[in-house]
Amino acid sequence: MWSNLAAPEAGGIPSTIVVTATIDVGVPENAPLVNKVDIVAPNEPTDAATLSNNHSEATVVTLGPPILRVTLRPASQITAPPGTQFAYIVDYINSGQTDAADVTITTVLPQGLTLVSEDSTAGGWDGKTTGTITWNIGTIPANSSGEIVIVAQVSNSAVVDTVLPVSTTASSSNTPSVTQSNTVKVGLLKIFLPRVGK
């Protein structure tokens, strides 16, 4: 409540009070919060017509938090022979009602796999090709998504039937991290020989 305010100038010239408020932790999403304000003056007429504009309301609806999700395509195990390349896609999305801030996407390639190329809709690749590789995505607006296309190569010395784990994590400064994993199986290199007739 504000009291003993300077009287506004005559002639309908407005005065302003700026209020900054913080929504309490624990208030559910999509909750309507009604803000009310009234003004009274001791020398103001008390008839209904005069008092009808002395009250105002404004409703603020709370937004839910950001919700990060990450998926890998294909979702099933990838098979690739030694020395060959394969591609997979990292899909990330913020399905929440609030922007996800300071988002990074991190992929871990184990020994035996090397990144050959990448194509990210948001950029931000750190330039690494082995081990932990990071993309600094930045802000993902609410209900927005992106993808990273990764081409990797299996080492020539990889042992057939070895299963190599690949994991990808999406992290943000204002929502929990999420991780998705897949595996790459080192397969046999198939060689097709031409048929020789008699």
pTM: 0.73
Express each pLDDT in 37-76 by its tens digit: 877 777 777 777 666 777 778 888 777 889 999 999 999 9
Residue type for position 155: S
Instruction: Tell me whether residue 34 is in a domain.
Output: no
Q: Which domain covers residue 118, as residue numbers?
A: 68-186
How far apart are the C-alpha atoms of 25 and 60, rounded to whole Å? Answer: 15
Express each pLDDT in 112-125 by its tens digit: 999 999 999 898 99
Instruction: Tell me whether residue 151 is in a domain.
Output: yes
Average pLDDT, the chain: 87
Pair 148, 137: CB distance under 8 Å: no
Phi, psi of 51 (to 5 degrees): -75, -15
What Cα–Cα distance (Å) separates residue 128 from each residue in 81, 106, 155? 23, 11, 17
Instruction: Tell me whether residue 7 is in a domain.
Output: no
Domain CATH number, residue 156: 2.60.40.1510
Instruction: Tell me whether residue 56 is in a domain.
Output: no
Instruction: Tell me whether residue 191 is in a domain.
Output: no
Instruction: Tell me whether residue 154 is in a domain.
Output: yes
Instruction: Tell me whether residue 91 is in a domain.
Output: yes
- Structurally, the chain folds into a number of domains equal to 1
Instruction: Tell me whether residue 6 is in a domain.
Output: no
Pair 78, 181: CB distance under 8 Å: no
Express each pLDDT in 146-172 by its tens digit: 999 999 999 999 999 999 999 999 999
DSSP state of 5: P
